[in-house]
A and B are shown apart, each in its own frame.
Chain A
């Protein structure tokens, strides 16, 4: 007891005597020491929480119900007038379109037919020819469009109702969207009878799957694309606010699916989707799905799980399907349909996809839903709210706000940054192993950290990535894909092997290159991930999964086979995609025709980052 009192007294006395500044410095040092000592655990905890959070995104316990933020929209508040007479019109258009299909009409014949039909309705219409040149060959077609100037409006604002000739079924596998096109024609006939439109109505029937709309939108906005030759549009209207894309490939449909992801990870304003969902449910009586798969309740749940959890597991399975599809579209920057092209011009757009079924819905339901949705978007007086562009729809009626998913990737990135900074600061010191060591105390000596060669190595991997990208965009690569892939993989994986020739350095003077490279590699990867989170969360999340652990565990070794083995693993992670030939071809097509930057991003950012980790293993300790 006395001893304790004495120690406490000594401590208090010492504190009183001490300079308060020194005390503060000591406090700081103590805090840093506690954190650094436990940094490893903090890092692991951050990784763990981040990955668990990602896994929890589809959970029904996360997220909230959808709501309409913009009160002016007033979805589903109007009487609809679309009726059976209009359905009969749509049927008649369908017959003619089927005739065109059976006659194997060319793009130009089709577009001329559509233009004539619009003109017969008294709506100014025109066609547009376009040719895209790409390494995979030319893509050409003819769009037809019509501009209905609304009464008493100045023509400064417009809404688009569009349908592509080829449906989005199987990502444009060639299924025709005949019913979607006839819906647009019948709607044109119907909508012109009303004087209540506050914005011009633009009807676009784009050729093929996505390329037709890309050509039309580029011409409409005067955007130049070096590989596109398109006619100028003869008819113009004003600023397009919203676009509804109708995709109705089957005979009838049971549900309407929302497809909303745009190219390069852009999303439309959620108010538009929520309004459509409400209108479809209450005005049209059609249930809405996110994408085109239903909630299948036949999931096999192992019997050992208590039955109380079955419902939750089923909900989780269904939602995770939606989330995975969302991630797939958004991370690859691939739009989930024709609507995806609108977002780059600040136009809110989505595709309503009639899920093919034997019933019960058809033209009557879709016409009413489109009419009511147009009335809703017609009410719009200003841009939709800026905060409604970040969301993940887990079901049509539930979504995650940005705050409930963004931190997951940020946590991983923070963990990587901590790891990188730790290595960086460790590199500056080396324990003094000389004989002058005092007993019981480590002595550390400072050493230099040569950054320039490390940055040189990083830069050269990125240049290698750029060369790789220019190689795979050549016509030669597309034509001899199997051979070229092997060749490119060999070349790209051989060049870093030159790191084996790097001489071993005196570790007491300068930090080893491999450690510095790992530090900078981790910091850079972490920065990339945290920046990408707000641009394209799905891509950031994929990067966090692919880079988080692998980059943190890279380490050099003294044994050559282990070094080579590790490097081979990293090369596989960096370049394995080159053998996914179909996926690669699509990504390149998206880049060349639509300007999706996923392919160059992978080549110039992702692959070099992983190669750097591979180099860490190759470089001498």
Chain B
């Protein structure tokens, strides 16, 4: 058996030429572009397509599933997708704050800080464990095990189902006798992303990190970047099949150590591409070329067009170490220039422990009015006072800019709040939104066991709504996370607290008990001196 497998492995390069393994295709791409502030954004995309496959109908969850045979498609993931009948899945683990003003829009739109996950699933058979919520819970636990991340914490207290912000990237199958698909979204901004998440990520790739572009995924360099994030995106394309995209984005700063913005694969990742992944149908490095400056790129790209230099690993001599060099020295721009037409700033004002104000300002630098959906998902420890909602432009109240508002109130200890507002942003203006926020008083068991620094509120999402419905290219802008500090007892001195409170209780109880049980009678008290005589 082992011998035959070995022989089969020897045949791999031959099979590779046919570029398809029994209906599976694997493509990989690395896109690198220099950002205006001298940093370098790189995005790895590993995409596996399962031809002709379709998501599992949750109606059939009770019956035996077809057996699964994958060659390139990650089996561990495939099993999870079938087991919980997931139609579309997006999971991202990011570290850092994406700076839209200086870096523009990211190549992969999901850049929320920490762990974030959203799925589209259909309602299953009436069996309770086949309901969307039960499968969502099990899916979180399964992925938590797969990625070594605290995804299990994305529980009911963090789960919401917003309507506008997350449209499916692929298609949703219309099964007969099945209710329409439902969205589940949750995010955990305080999740830290590190090597233990990257290793399982690499294990899902057919060539692991031994060959191909994944060779460059060097944790020592990636996890030192200014921003880094990995993503898993599963969607169904009716004409093609089920597609799994594994992405890794990072923003590296060549200017951190030196004063040149020149970069090369070896300077960014401390590695070169030494071998191509033999099972990849296509494997290429795409470099965005500077448009208005002189530069030199080496080696020569296989193909240059549309401002991009493309290196095809099949046509390039290996090892490959792409590098870009600017002959002129770099100067930071001293005039602030926004790289994205929308700029969102969200802050929490107020220093008291029970009340504060959420201040959001959305700047539309474009010449045309834009309609956006503003989505705020908050854990129940903070609640919004909707009557305090104020919208203004340059200090002038503009309640008319609010076109639609839906609010799911939080349930203490149970459900998160979700606020979804459709706003009209006038051209060249900054709309500021203010909302009063109350903070809950937590029971002592509800405080997190780790060091007390407050609770992180997930990033709000601003989605540019397409002008014509049906055009599904969505632009999402994530704000930074916020830290909210509810009133916290001093857990480091429980002994003192117990002593104080017990004394108080004893004192009150003693006096009340005394007063209730004592019998008051009149006694004739004479002067003590007289009595002795």
**Chain A residues in contact with chain B, CB under 8 A?**
10-11, 14, 18-19, 21-22, 25-26, 29-30, 116, 119-122, 124, 126, 149, 151-157, 192-193, 195, 221-223, 232, 236, 238-239, 344-346, 381-383, 385-387
- Given A126-B336, A236-B347, 5 more A-B residue pairs with CB atoms under 8 Å apart are A25-B523, A119-B336, A154-B480, A155-B480, A238-B482
Contact with A193, one of B256, B521, B533 (Cβ below 8 angstroms): B256
Expressed in whole angstroms, the Cα–Cα distance for A89 and B358 within the complex equals: 40
Whether A120 contacts B332 by the Cβ 8 Å rule is yes
Expressed in whole angstroms, the Cα–Cα distance for A386 and B228 within the complex equals: 36
Asked if B71 CB lies within 8 Å of chain A CBs, one says no
Which one of B76-84, B93-101, B230-238 contacts A?
B93-101
Minimum CB–CB distance for B285 against chain A, Å: 24
Q: 8 A-B Cβ contacts within 8 A?
A: A124-B336, A152-B96, A154-B480, A193-B257, A223-B351, A232-B361, A381-B451, A387-B493
Expressed in whole angstroms, the Cα–Cα distance for A26 and B334 within the complex equals: 88
- Report the nearest B residue to A344, measured CB to CB: B351
- The proximity string for B residues 507-533 relative to A, scoring 1 for CB distances below 8 Å and 0 otherwise, is 000000000000001011100100111
* With known contacts A119-B332, A236-B345, A344-B351, A124–B256 Cβ distance under 8 A: no
Expressed in whole angstroms, the Cα–Cα distance for A236 and B345 within the complex equals: 8
Whether B350 contacts A222 by the Cβ 8 Å rule is yes
Whether B453 contacts A157 by the Cβ 8 Å rule is yes
Whether B224 contacts A195 by the Cβ 8 Å rule is yes
Whether A383 contacts B531 by the Cβ 8 Å rule is no
Contact with A18, one of B361, B485, B531 (Cβ below 8 angstroms): B531
- The proximity string for B residues 166-210 relative to A, scoring 1 for CB distances below 8 Å and 0 otherwise, is 000000000000000000000001100000000000000000000
* With known contacts A153-B97, A154-B456, A386-B490, A22–B480 Cβ distance under 8 A: no
Expressed in whole angstroms, the Cα–Cα distance for A122 and B336 within the complex equals: 10
Asked if B225 CB lies within 8 Å of chain A CBs, one says yes
Q: Which residues of B contact A346 (CB under 8 A)?
A: 351
Whether A152 contacts B228 by the Cβ 8 Å rule is yes
Minimum CB–CB distance for A594 against chain B, Å: 15
- Report the nearest B residue to A239, measured CB to CB: B483
Minimum CB–CB distance for B41 against chain A, Å: 14
Expressed in whole angstroms, the Cα–Cα distance for A106 and B451 within the complex equals: 46
Contact with B99, one of A149, A382, A383 (Cβ below 8 angstroms): A149
Q: Which residues of A contact B189 (CB under 8 A)?
A: 154, 156
Minimum CB–CB distance for B218 against chain A, Å: 15
Whether A10 contacts B532 by the Cβ 8 Å rule is yes
**Chain B residues in contact with chain A, CB under 8 A?**
37-38, 95-97, 99, 101-102, 113-114, 189-190, 223-228, 253, 255-257, 331-336, 345, 347, 349-351, 357, 359, 361, 450-454, 456, 480-483, 485, 490, 492-493, 521, 523-525, 528, 531-533
Q: Which residues of B contact A124 (CB under 8 A)?
A: 101-102, 336
Kindly count the residue-residue contacts between A and B in the assembled complex, taking CB atoms under 8 Å apart: 120
Expressed in whole angstroms, the Cα–Cα distance for A30 and B525 within the complex equals: 12
Whether A156 contacts B483 by the Cβ 8 Å rule is yes
Expressed in whole angstroms, the Cα–Cα distance for A232 and B357 within the complex equals: 15
Minimum CB–CB distance for A193 against chain B, Å: 6
Whether A21 contacts B492 by the Cβ 8 Å rule is no
Whether A238 contacts B483 by the Cβ 8 Å rule is yes
Q: Which residues of B contact A386 (CB under 8 A)?
A: 490, 492-493
Q: Which residues of B contact A120 (CB under 8 A)?
A: 331-332, 334
Quick one: which of B257, B528, B533 has the most chain A CB within 10 A? Answer: B528
Q: Which residues of B contact A345 (CB under 8 A)?
A: 351
Q: Which residues of B contact A385 (CB under 8 A)?
A: 490, 492
Whether A222 contacts B227 by the Cβ 8 Å rule is no
- Report the nearest B residue to A115, measured CB to CB: B334
Expressed in whole angstroms, the Cα–Cα distance for A193 and B253 within the complex equals: 10
* With known contacts A122-B37, A154-B189, A221-B350, A239–B454 Cβ distance under 8 A: yes
Expressed in whole angstroms, the Cα–Cα distance for A156 and B349 within the complex equals: 13
Q: Which residues of A contact B490 (CB under 8 A)?
A: 385-387
Q: Which residues of A contact B483 (CB under 8 A)?
A: 156-157, 238-239
- Report the nearest A residue to B224, measured CB to CB: A195
Whether A26 contacts B228 by the Cβ 8 Å rule is no
Q: Which 9 A-B pairs have the closest CB atoms?
A: A222-B349, A382-B451, A381-B451, A156-B483, A154-B113, A122-B332, A155-B97, A151-B226, A155-B480
Contact with B256, one of A119, A154, A155, A195 (Cβ below 8 angstroms): A195
Minimum CB–CB distance for B347 against chain A, Å: 5
Expressed in whole angstroms, the Cα–Cα distance for A387 and B497 within the complex equals: 13
* With known contacts A22-B523, A116-B334, A222-B359, A155–B454 Cβ distance under 8 A: no
- Report the nearest B residue to A200, measured CB to CB: B97
Minimum CB–CB distance for B242 against chain A, Å: 33
* With known contacts A195-B256, A221-B351, A152–B227 Cβ distance under 8 A: yes
Quick one: which of A10, A126, A154 has the most chain B CB within 10 A? Answer: A154
- Report the nearest B residue to A441, measured CB to CB: B527
Whether A382 contacts B453 by the Cβ 8 Å rule is yes
Quick one: which of B359, B450, B454 has the most chain A CB within 10 A? Answer: B454
Minimum CB–CB distance for B32 against chain A, Å: 19
Expressed in whole angstroms, the Cα–Cα distance for A156 and B523 within the complex equals: 70
* With known contacts A154-B96, A155-B480, A119–B333 Cβ distance under 8 A: yes
Whether A152 contacts B95 by the Cβ 8 Å rule is yes
Minimum CB–CB distance for A328 against chain B, Å: 27
Expressed in whole angstroms, the Cα–Cα distance for A18 and B55 within the complex equals: 96
